[in-house]
Amino acid sequence: MKRWGVRFAVTLALLGCLFGLKLVLEEFLIDYVVRIILFAGINAILAVGLNLINGTTGQFSIGHAGFMAVGAYATAFTVIQIEDSMTATLAGLPPYLAHGLVLNVGLLVGAALAGLAGLLVGAPSLRLRGDYLAIVTLGFGEIIRLLINNTAALGGATGYGGGRALGVPTYTDFFWVFAWAALIVWLVKNLTFSSYGRALMVIREDEISAESVGLPTTRFKVLAFVVSAATAGIAGGLFAHLQNTVHPDNFKFDRSIDIIVMIIVGGMGSVTGAVVGGVVVGAALELLRPFGAYRLVAYALLLVLLMIFRPQGILGTREFRPKAIAAMFRRRGEARK
């Protein structure tokens, strides 16, 4: 009980620091810079989730934008439907907290539906491997986008704003993005280094050997797929409430490719590497915007240089471990003495 009390106190302290940092950033930084930081956090969530499939489990999924779209539209639709009634029920709370609770209910619905989509896609298709699995997931992502594009209730090709003049409420901010990012990184890291995670790594190294020792490989791969899809749903929901309208063009095939690039840049199989890759790729795309038409050329050139000089990614398969870093500095200090 004492240990749980300490953990609870540390969690509250971290949330307080996040909220304080949110106030500082909004006070001293322009909106454009704050949005770049928010996109970096959303990218980190997407990269950590996809890394569980492509990096830890060794599968190849290129339809992650489809799960992101499911989460975005489900969250936006849910929030718009429940906002008035739930805000009235929570009238005694500060507006920021009431809006945050509405947003989080929507995010949980988006995560659940995206996870269900992951189950529906993963259960029949994860018996496939390699290129065949990639083709199935690519098809799923495009099917989702085209369905949304032709569904009038979701705004069709013009985007979804809930039929309101103000569009989708912009409840996403620094606190909610990075609170969810921290939670998802913690959950995925614990899963990766649990017995389930070790089973996923065995599947990555040699699926036939894993089956020969009795591991239910399809079940484990579906588990990874569902968790990854749910995290993409969270990222999609946060993305939807960062702007007034959710548009199907936000979830095209090139969005899935960007997420794959993030985990390659950070290091396939590294949770903290995926976070680094998400931040670096997101920042690079924005910083290269002044190049105009040559932006994507410069971006591709940077990726080519990275693959030449650091093909394993920034962190490779290593993880950022504060205890290990502290021990390294301690050993260096002792060596100087």
Residue 80, pLDDT > 80, answer yes
* pLDDT tens digits along 221-238: 888 889 999 999 999 999
What single string gives the DSSP state of each residue in 158-195? Answer: G-B-TT-TT-S-----HHHHHHHHHHHHHHHHHHHTSH
Q: Which residue has the tokens 């030449």?
A: 308
- Per-residue pLDDT averaged across 73-90, rounded? 86
Phi first, then psi, for residue 254 (nearest 5°) are -65, -20
Q: In terms of C-beta density within 10 A (0-12 exposed, 13-18 middle, 19 or more buried), how is residue 123 classed?
A: middle
Q: Quick one: pLDDT at residue 234?
A: 94
Q: Which residues contact 75 (CB under 8 A, 6 or more apart)?
A: 103, 106, 107, 109, 110, 233, 236, 237, 240, 241
Q: In terms of C-beta density within 10 A (0-12 exposed, 13-18 middle, 19 or more buried), how is residue 295 classed?
A: middle
Residue 198, pLDDT > 60, answer yes
Cβ pair 161, 244 in contact under 8 A = yes
Supply the mean pLDDT for the chain: 83
User: Distance between the two ends of the chain, CA-based, in angstroms?
Assistant: 41
Using alpha carbons, select from 277, 233, 281 the residue that is nearest to residue 113. Answer: 233
Q: Quick one: pLDDT at residue 330?
A: 62
* pLDDT tens digits along 281-320: 888 877 777 777 777 777 778 778 887 877 778 887 777 7
Q: Which residue has the tokens 């591709």?
A: 300
Strand partners of residue 112: none
The CA–CA distances, whole Å, from 257 to 46, 71, 108, 264, 290 equal: 12, 18, 26, 11, 22
Using alpha carbons, select from 140, 135, 139, 151 the residue that is nearest to residue 74. Answer: 151
Dihedral angle sign, alpha carbons of residues 23, 29, 30, 34: negative
Residue 149, pLDDT > 80, answer yes
Proportion of the chain above pLDDT 90, given as a percent: 16
Number of H helices, E strands in the chain: 13, 0
The pTM for the full model equals 0.88
3-state secondary structure of 19: helix
Q: Quick one: pLDDT at residue 106?
A: 92
- Per-residue pLDDT averaged across 9-14, rounded? 82
Comparing 47-56, 69-78, 114-123, 302-311, which segment has the lowest mean pLDDT?
302-311
Determine the Cα–Cα distance for residues 183 and 295; give it in Å rounded to an integer.
Answer: 33
Question: How is residue 337 written in tokens?
Answer: 């003495």
Q: Quick one: pLDDT at residue 73?
A: 92
In the chain, what are the domains? 30-323 (1.10.3470)
- Per-residue pLDDT averaged across 101-130, rounded? 86
- Per-residue pLDDT averaged across 65-73, rounded? 91
Q: Quick one: pLDDT at residue 194?
A: 87
Cβ pair 244, 79 in contact under 8 A = no
Determine the Cα–Cα distance for residues 260 and 69; give it in Å rounded to an integer.
Answer: 16
